[in-house]
Structure 1
């Protein structure tokens, strides 16, 4: 999963409204056609709620 980039994550979360729950972000990513590695990273991001895109990126990339 080292090939996941911040740009991939941004594309997957396009149109997300914040604050958002982890489940909401997973749904947005799936509806945006995100691949499994992005969805998996979101599902294991370690937080239940995110205040904005920077919060998501920090949780995803610092978590693993």
Structure 2
């Protein structure tokens, strides 16, 4: 499976109110039409609250 960039993930998280849980991020990405690569990247995040888009991007970048 191809690696997804944090920027690509952020395109599907518009409208998220932070802090947000992993589940909220996944749900929003699904609503925004994210593909399976983006959803898989979000599913790999730790199950915690993320305080900002930057924190989500960092966490996704750390998964690489």
Aligned to 1:5: 5
In structure 2, runs of 5+ residues without a counterpart are none
Tell which has more relative contact order, 1 or 2 (C-alpha 8 A, sep 6+): 2
Number of positions where the alignment pairs a residue of Structure 1 with one of Structure 2: 63
Q: Any idea what SS the aligned residue of 2:54 has?
A: helix
In the TM superposition, what whole-angstrom CA distance separates every residue of 1:10-46 from its partner, at most 9, and x where no partner exists? 1110111100000000000000000001011001112
TM-score by length of 2: 0.88
Deviating above 2 A after TM superposition, structure 1's stretches of 4 or more consecutive aligned residues are: none
TM-score by length of 1: 0.88
In structure 1, runs of 5+ residues without a counterpart are none
Aligned to 1:36: 36
Aligned to 2:55: 55
Alpha-carbon distance, 1:5 to partner: 2.2
Aligned to 1:24: 24
